[in-house]
Structure 1
Amino acid sequence: MRAALLGACCAAALAAPARAQAPDSPVALDEITVSGAGATVAPGPNLSVKTNAGSRLGLTPLETPASVDVVSGDVVRDRGQSSIAEAVTQNAAGFSFIGTPGNGFGAYSSRGFTGVNSVTTLYDGVRLYPGQGTVTFPFDTWTVDRIEVLRGPASVLYGEGAVGGAINIIPKKPLTDERRNEARMVVGTDGQVGLAAGSAGPINDRFAYSFDVVGNRGDGWMDRGDHKNLAFSGALNWRPTDELSVTLTHDGGHNQPSRYFGTPLKGAGNVETDWIGENYNVRDGVIRFNDTITQLKAEWTPNETVTLRATAYYVTANRLWRNAEGYTWNAGTGLIDRSSFIAIKQEQEQIGARADATIRTELFGMANEAVVGFDVNRFDFRRLNNGGYGNPDLNPSLPPTGFDPGDYGSASPYGKDYKAITTQYSFFFDDRLKVTDTLSLVAGLRYDHPEVDYRNVRTGDTSNPTLNSISWRVGAVYEPIENLAVYAQYSEAADPVTSILSLPKSQADFALSKGRQVEAGVKQSLWDDRVEWTLSAFYIEKNDLLSRDANTPTITQQVGQQSSRGVEASVGVELGHGWRIDANGTILDARYDDFRESVMNPVTGEPESVSRKGNTPNAVPETLANVWATWRFAEDWKAQAGLQYVGKTYTTAENRYSRPGYALVNAGLQWKPTAYATLDLRVKNLTDKTYAYTGGDYQWYFGAPRTAEVALHLRF
């Protein structure tokens, strides 16, 4: 079957019209250069590419006193990384994936901190606020121009949250002086089929456009694992004058992932391999995410000293779950007991605007560049649910294999649960002062004022918390020789204890958790960017964690402190003779410095407070590494392989059980039969490793076994 698919794709490529021209570079980025029939794309860290990941000043990573990665979309697609999660965790240093259906597959761990509040996702600069711990967009990399990653606290840039880092996905943009037309077809194991197309270029002297769309479907690697999705991105750019640019964009996605909520263990930490391919969800389970984001942007540069920018945006998210989510092996009966029969709808709407001005002047004879601005947002979040929790008709026990999963049905109609309207405004300031030709000072300040109007429709409970925060950062960059930078920074941040948009009355009086970081490092680019390397060391601490009260376990409280210290390194090297190596690694020491939680005493049956001081926070791997090797071994041929390593991870703060570390190998072979066609054969998880990437003591989420795909990419 695979041989037939490969042959068919080869024939299609060779039969393409001979009049097609060599492709234009699909993305206008500094790291892309066109040579002959193909493009060579620098995978990273891309120290000379201007980015807004580390500041709003448009500095390069070399000029920024922080750890910043710029991951090119072309590199991501060339490596076969079709999901945002693959692109981030297999290229950026220090990130691991902990996504589940409940958090929308948008959760990560970075620098010892986890979840959608501590690792923030943005789309084209717009922060995607999580509703009840969920972020569901974006998910596919076809529409991506690049991914900008900031490691460490990012509150000074994006507001409360992001003490562990921030991920900003930048979509493809209109091209004003070249054209891009491309298409991709993918077939693979487990019934995988994918189609994608894209186009960009000038319409006339004043208008330019871009449009990209991608759709995928498959049967999944587990029983009843069928899935499908569609993502799109479109933009229209108007330049009435050389100084003014106006862009309208509309992006979105419809995602129905596999209805898989993990696999129960045969006792804590005990994996029964025969159970991994089973799906213990109900037959008619549903997971459905629909997201859109529309933006209108204007940028005016009347002269060399001033740039004005304004953005208005409208974001929607509609989500639906109807599943049996909890599975526990019953040692007494030998059956799998199902629980958490939950049907939930989320309706989320965000209307906002941001404006800022960049001013370039001199201060006491020194070059100074400053950005000052504000943003405002209004969020409307509504949650509806079905009252079928624990209904015995919906809660049968199943044998581990050979079972009838049953149907959820409709135990009761959906009813309104709660709604919350949140208004938020902020003011921010970034500044860079060139003290000398070799020394720069970079500082930032942000004030945030979110106010929540919460109302529980079922109980009538209301609350109106206000969660003000001030975040700031100061850093220095010293460049003793050209393209070698030594930096240090100190920053303070704020982290919400839970999703602000769905803050319940019971937590309305809680303060934001406070975080602070000290970081120092060195970065260098050598030999016309053929060698780039970075090294950083950091210490982060976060106070006022969330825990359950020992006397009343149903009540949560804020206590204690956790911290992490670590070292991160990355390197990219063009070795010559067609070889390139990219690698990064992280070593962490993450721990609870002062933290107590309520547990049930097995002897007395009463709750008691237990210290977790010195333990590692759950879902935090303390060692991570990525290595990619590329070899152009013949004209029009390329082989590549990647190794991703994620270390052992504890499943709870107790540190009694852990998920083993794992190493995944991905490999690919690429052939360019013509100047406009590329044929890829890729194998993911080459060694067929059995691994779990997230989960608790008794239920783990396993990753896919070995899969293969053939992809034909055409440019014309």
Structure 2
Amino acid sequence: MTPAVLPFGRNRRLLSSVALVPLLWPVDGLAQTAPTTPRGLDPIVVEGQTARPAKPRAAANAGSSRQRRAAARPAAAPAPAPAEAATTRAATAPTFNLGTPSSTGSRLGLTPLQTPASVEVIRAETIAERGQHNVIDAVTQNATGFTASPAPGNGGLSFVTRGFSGNGTVMTLYDGTRMYVGSGTMTFPFDTWTAQRIEVLRGPASVMYGEGAIGGAVNVISKKPLDVQRNEAEVSLDTNLLRRLAVDSGGPINPNVSYRLAAIGNMSDGWVDRDTMSNVAVSGSVRVQAADNLAFTLSEDYADRSPSRYFGTPLVNGGIDESLRFKNYNVGDSSIRYRDNWTQLKTEWDVAEGVSVKNVTYYLSSHRHWKDVESYAYSPATGNINRRDYIEIFHDQEQLGNRFDATFKGHLFGLANQFVAGFDVNRIAFTHTNNSPYSGSSTVNPYNFDPGYFQWVSSTRPSFHTLTTQYGLFAENRLSLTDQLSVIGGIRSDHPTVERTDFLTPANSFEKTYSAPSWRVGVVYNPIPDLSLYGQYSTAVDPVSNLITMTGVNRDFALSTGKQVEVGIKQQLAGGRAEWTLSAYQIVKNNLLARDPQNPANTNPLQIGQQSSRGIEASAGLKVTETIRLDANVAVLRAKYDDFTQVVGGQVVNYAGNVPANVPQVVSNIWATWAFAPGWSANAGVQLVGDTWADNANTLVRPAYNVVNAGLMWKPDTRQTLALRVYNVFDTIYATSGGTSQWILGMPRTAELSYNVKF
């Protein structure tokens, strides 16, 4: 469904949007006097889940269970203080937050310092300060070693890390729950307004979440009910006519019930021609404290998105012609729409001292529709653009599941021990409707052309349906051998069964059960407080293609397997004023599908390929003074195919030694923040991405790029923030994804003005 276009011109839309600002700006805000003393940087540390304090055995009955649980519940910031109080606030710890408990790298609630893996936590305040409105920007501009290759065809959520790319090898979760990937597509979550924080795990995550996470995982944690009333609203406008309106409210309904409701809406004309887009996301939750030791949280998330229909800019002589930068070669009646719904019921029960149980029951659905012409190629002979692949596709996916775990904290052979065990089960129904074989073609002038209309060459009809049932068992244990040395191990076993019904070719229908075991063991040594040395060995499994859309050709192949060795060091310094991490790893993935090198005519693949990557990652954060903070990270890697045979032009070609497509070898982020005057602060960051091959044959490289973003914020008091941000300050022309004929370009220089108020 094509987003509605407002019935008035671009200039009138701009004037109307600007006119909203005075309506939302409190009149008395203009009369506020700026503080007269220097004010430090606002904290950007992660608001992680506060660890439940261990209760002394001798005082087992001291304090109620409700008090203990209150420590674990997210609390709102105190009611805004007078402007004078804000002058005493100072810059706190850098963004890595090694002492903040995380749920993504371990089910035991360990901090990154305690976890033998590379885990980072990005707080909502950090994301807001840097003006990162979508999950892709928040992860790739803050986390170490992450890039992305978003496109309309993959839902705009596709990450790359440690040499592996795509939704089949880098998993995206929401509140620790995964939606199984169908046809390489993930469409939720996308906006950061409803996120309390984002946690990332680099390296295999199958022991935590099952198959499909050999590269890593991104876990978006939603905003939770609050025990103190808090309200917030924000409005913004940018030079692409992106109008953004957001609200957030949370607080107690009565002593035992609290709520949270966050909503965001965006509308934009887009930065390429004819690319109007819009979206709405709503996240609501209610928490009921049924007893001192029992709580229920019901959450509902809904998103309706009509995203960009820009599929890329055709290459001219292997590169970008700047005169085509803002051209959109899609048809005039193109349409993309994603509708996602997540319903979750979480139960938390403190059974006894040191024993707790959690259960999450969820229903997820996603309904997606594309109607586009998606492939463009420049013809040197005619100077025109050839368009092909008139595609209409529907995805209808429903997933019902349950995850249960029980945690035990006590002693084993006189040694402190933490143990968690549980299971999860899922039932996923997926229907793929399309107009395959995606016929249709047209030719247009590169500069002045009629976009035309969608060509109905082939009828759109149901193609196949799959019903996937999955159950998995998992366990994790941490044994403290001494106060300085601990051993952490985990194991998981998944057993998915896929039933595929092929409506077009019934002979291709099948039923297949797979086994997906994975495990991890690691050691953490603390020679001094706040310094951790660690090492780990982990295994992982990936399907040869997305599990719930497995084809008949691939059904008899085993899951691909992987293993990783990682060592590293992490440290907090000067009471949290500085943090740094350093890690080195090697990952090997086996059982890739490749062609038979002895029989090129055989189109059936063999499971003989291998891919590997090794690299070094470092991150550091420093609060230089009370008003200056620096954060930086860098990842350097060597990713390659060790054995990957393909047939090109009837000839066998082995891509051994080639770099996988979409994998840069160098990635870095640098941020600086300066509170230079009372109530004023500025920040600037640069994202550096190295050369990236556009294809596995390594015939065409997407050039390296550096993108600079900057912002200026004014806080007349603790309630209000007015921000001016400029994205891509130097208007760099760069490509984020694409093959050998067209590239999707990044956003040009864009200025944004926003106003935020808390009340």
TM-score range, shorter chain: over 0.9
Amino acid at match of 2:100: V
Are 1:215 and 2:300 an aligned pair?
no
Mark the CA change 1:107 to 1:224 in structure 2 (over 3 Å): closer, same or farther. Answer: same
Residues 633-673 of structure 1 show CA distances to partners (whole Å, capped at 9, x for unaligned) of 01110000010011000111211210001000000000012
Structure 1 match to 2:589: 542
Work out whether residues 197 and 213 of structure 1, in 8 Å CA contact, stay in contact via their aligned partners in 2. yes
Work out whether residues 492 and 516 of structure 1, in 8 Å CA contact, stay in contact via their aligned partners in 2. yes
In structure 2, how many angstroms separate the alpha carbons of the residues matched to 1:307 and 1:577? 41
Structure 2 match to 1:444: 490
In structure 2, how many angstroms separate the alpha carbons of the residues matched to 1:350 and 1:516? 29
Amino acid at match of 1:201: G
In structure 2, how many angstroms separate the alpha carbons of the residues matched to 1:469 and 1:510? 13
Instruction: Indicate which of 514, 531, 539 corresponds to 2:561.
Output: 514
Structure 2 unaligned regions, length at least 5: 1-10, 36-41, 51-75
| Identity within the alignment, % | 46
Instruction: Indicate which of 499, 503, 516 corresponds to 1:453.
Output: 499
In structure 2, how many angstroms separate the alpha carbons of the residues matched to 1:382 and 1:343? 14
Mark the CA change 1:147 to 1:26 in structure 2 (over 3 Å): closer, same or farther. Answer: closer
Mark the CA change 1:494 to 1:30 in structure 2 (over 3 Å): closer, same or farther. Answer: closer
Secondary structure of residue in 2 paired with 1:342: strand
Amino acid at match of 1:15: V
Are 1:275 and 2:324 an aligned pair?
yes
In structure 1, how many angstroms separate the alpha carbons of the residues matched to 2:627 and 2:662? 39
Instruction: Indicate which of 417, 421, 430 corresponds to 2:476.
Output: 430
**Structure 1 residue 128: Cα displacement:** 1.9
Residues 19-70 of structure 1 show CA distances to partners (whole Å, capped at 9, x for unaligned) of 99x9999996479987833876755211111111111100000000000000
Mark the CA change 1:155 to 1:371 in structure 2 (over 3 Å): closer, same or farther. Answer: same
Are 1:415 and 2:464 an aligned pair?
no
In structure 1, how many angstroms separate the alpha carbons of the residues matched to 2:570 and 2:630? 17
**Structure 1 residue 361: Cα displacement:** 2.1
Work out whether residues 163 and 215 of structure 2, in 8 Å CA contact, stay in contact via their aligned partners in 1. yes
Structure 2 match to 1:300: 349
In structure 2, how many angstroms separate the alpha carbons of the residues matched to 1:43 and 1:479? 21
Structure 1 match to 2:401: 352
Paired positions, count: 704
Amino acid at match of 1:640: N
**What pairs up with 1:163-202 in 2 under 5 angstroms?**
163-176=214-227, 178-202=228-252
Structure 2 match to 1:204: 254
In structure 2, how many angstroms separate the alpha carbons of the residues matched to 1:559 and 1:24? 51
More strand by share: 1
Mark the CA change 1:65 to 1:27 in structure 2 (over 3 Å): closer, same or farther. Answer: closer
Are 1:15 and 2:27 an aligned pair?
yes
In structure 2, how many angstroms separate the alpha carbons of the residues matched to 1:132 and 1:667? 37
Are 1:401 and 2:447 an aligned pair?
yes
In structure 2, how many angstroms separate the alpha carbons of the residues matched to 1:572 and 1:696? 36
**Structure 1 residue 557: Cα displacement:** 3.1
Mark the CA change 1:488 to 1:363 in structure 2 (over 3 Å): closer, same or farther. Answer: same
Amino acid at match of 1:147: I
In structure 1, how many angstroms separate the alpha carbons of the residues matched to 2:181 and 2:152? 14
Instruction: Indicate which of 614, 620, 634 corresponds to 1:585.
Output: 634
Secondary structure of residue in 2 paired with 1:75: helix
**Structure 1 residue 577: Cα displacement:** 4.2
More moved, 139-148 vs 591-600: 591-600
Mark the CA change 1:286 to 1:7 in structure 2 (over 3 Å): closer, same or farther. Answer: closer
In structure 2, how many angstroms separate the alpha carbons of the residues matched to 1:688 and 1:466? 51
Instruction: Indicate which of 196, 199, 212 corresponds to 1:161.
Output: 212
Structure 1 match to 2:707: 664
Work out whether residues 92 and 576 of structure 2, in 8 Å CA contact, stay in contact via their aligned partners in 1. no
Structure 1 match to 2:299: 249
In structure 1, how many angstroms separate the alpha carbons of the residues matched to 2:603 and 2:678? 66
Instruction: Indicate which of 234, 246, 255 corresponds to 2:284.
Output: 234
Structure 1 unaligned regions, length at least 5: 601-606
Structure 1 match to 2:372: 323
In structure 1, how many angstroms separate the alpha carbons of the residues matched to 2:580 and 2:266? 36
In structure 2, how many angstroms separate the alpha carbons of the residues matched to 1:474 and 1:144? 31
Residues 541-595 of structure 1 show CA distances to partners (whole Å, capped at 9, x for unaligned) of 0011123456247533322211111000111111114000011100001111122
**Structure 1 residue 240: Cα displacement:** 1.4
In structure 1, how many angstroms separate the alpha carbons of the residues matched to 2:727 and 2:18? 17
**What pairs up with 1:255-266 in 2 under 5 angstroms?**
255-266=305-316
**Structure 1 residue 78: Cα displacement:** 1.5
More moved, 24-33 vs 479-488: 24-33
More moved, 271-280 vs 409-418: 409-418
Work out whether residues 593 and 605 of structure 2, in 8 Å CA contact, stay in contact via their aligned partners in 1. yes
Mark the CA change 1:112 to 1:709 in structure 2 (over 3 Å): closer, same or farther. Answer: same
More moved, 608-617 vs 290-299: 608-617
More moved, 459-468 vs 290-299: 459-468
More moved, 25-34 vs 109-118: 25-34
Q: TM-score, normalised by structure 2?
A: 0.89
**Structure 1 residue 13: Cα displacement:** 3.8
In structure 2, how many angstroms separate the alpha carbons of the residues matched to 1:151 and 1:618? 19
Secondary structure of residue in 1 paired with 2:425: strand
Q: Aligned Cα RMSD in Å? A: 2.4
Work out whether residues 94 and 578 of structure 2, in 8 Å CA contact, stay in contact via their aligned partners in 1. no
Instruction: Indicate which of 668, 684, 691 corresponds to 1:625.
Output: 668
In structure 2, how many angstroms separate the alpha carbons of the residues matched to 1:168 and 1:242? 29
Mark the CA change 1:481 to 1:379 in structure 2 (over 3 Å): closer, same or farther. Answer: same
Work out whether residues 92 and 623 of structure 2, in 8 Å CA contact, stay in contact via their aligned partners in 1. no
Mark the CA change 1:139 to 1:684 in structure 2 (over 3 Å): closer, same or farther. Answer: same
Instruction: Indicate which of 109, 120, 125 corresponds to 1:58.
Output: 109
Amino acid at match of 1:172: K
Secondary structure of residue in 2 paired with 1:87: helix
More moved, 541-550 vs 516-525: 541-550
Mark the CA change 1:696 to 1:412 in structure 2 (over 3 Å): closer, same or farther. Answer: closer
In structure 2, how many angstroms separate the alpha carbons of the residues matched to 1:638 and 1:13? 20
Q: TM-score, normalised by structure 1?
A: 0.95
**What pairs up with 1:452-471 in 2 under 5 angstroms?**
452-460=498-506, 461-471=508-518
In structure 2, how many angstroms separate the alpha carbons of the residues matched to 1:688 and 1:417? 44
Secondary structure of residue in 1 paired with 2:323: helix
Work out whether residues 355 and 408 of structure 2, in 8 Å CA contact, stay in contact via their aligned partners in 1. yes
Amino acid at match of 1:191: L
Work out whether residues 25 and 33 of structure 1, in 8 Å CA contact, stay in contact via their aligned partners in 2. no
Amino acid at match of 1:456: D
